[in-house]
Amino acid sequence: MTKAITPDFHNITEISFEDMVNMYREDISKSLGYDPIAPPVLIDDKQAAHVLDVSPNTLSIWRSLGRYNIPFVKSGRLVRYRVDDLARFLARRTVTHTGKIV
């Protein structure tokens, strides 16, 4: 796995939310070693933690406390995240240097 997700938005003056989500989705796929054309639908909690640049334990605490509204799929003890949901989460939190949401 490569470093955390940080798409380059510096050269973009105006970008739609959906375009931003698509850029994040592509970067997430690349950082996890998947083909960006056909990314996986679900990834495990360790991969999701890598994408968000937090520890898996932090992600577990966020889930249990409801700190952030990141949807996840739970089957027994297995926890999975949709790549699209992570991309949307990151896009919603992207701000410019002025604090204005992109």
CATH 1.10.10 fits 17-92, yes or no: yes
DSSP labels, 53-67: TS-HHHHHHHHHHT-
pLDDT in tens, 4-60: 555 555 555 578 889 999 999 999 999 999 988 888 899 999 999 999 999 999 999
Q: Flag whether pLDDT at 102 surpasses 60.
A: no
Q: Flag whether pLDDT at 79 surpasses 90.
A: yes
User: Going edge to edge, which strands form the sheet with 73-75?
Assistant: 42-44, 78-82, 73-75
**pLDDT given at position 14:** 73
Q: pTM for this structure?
A: 0.77
Instruction: Sketch the domain layout of the chain as residue ranges.
Output: 17-92
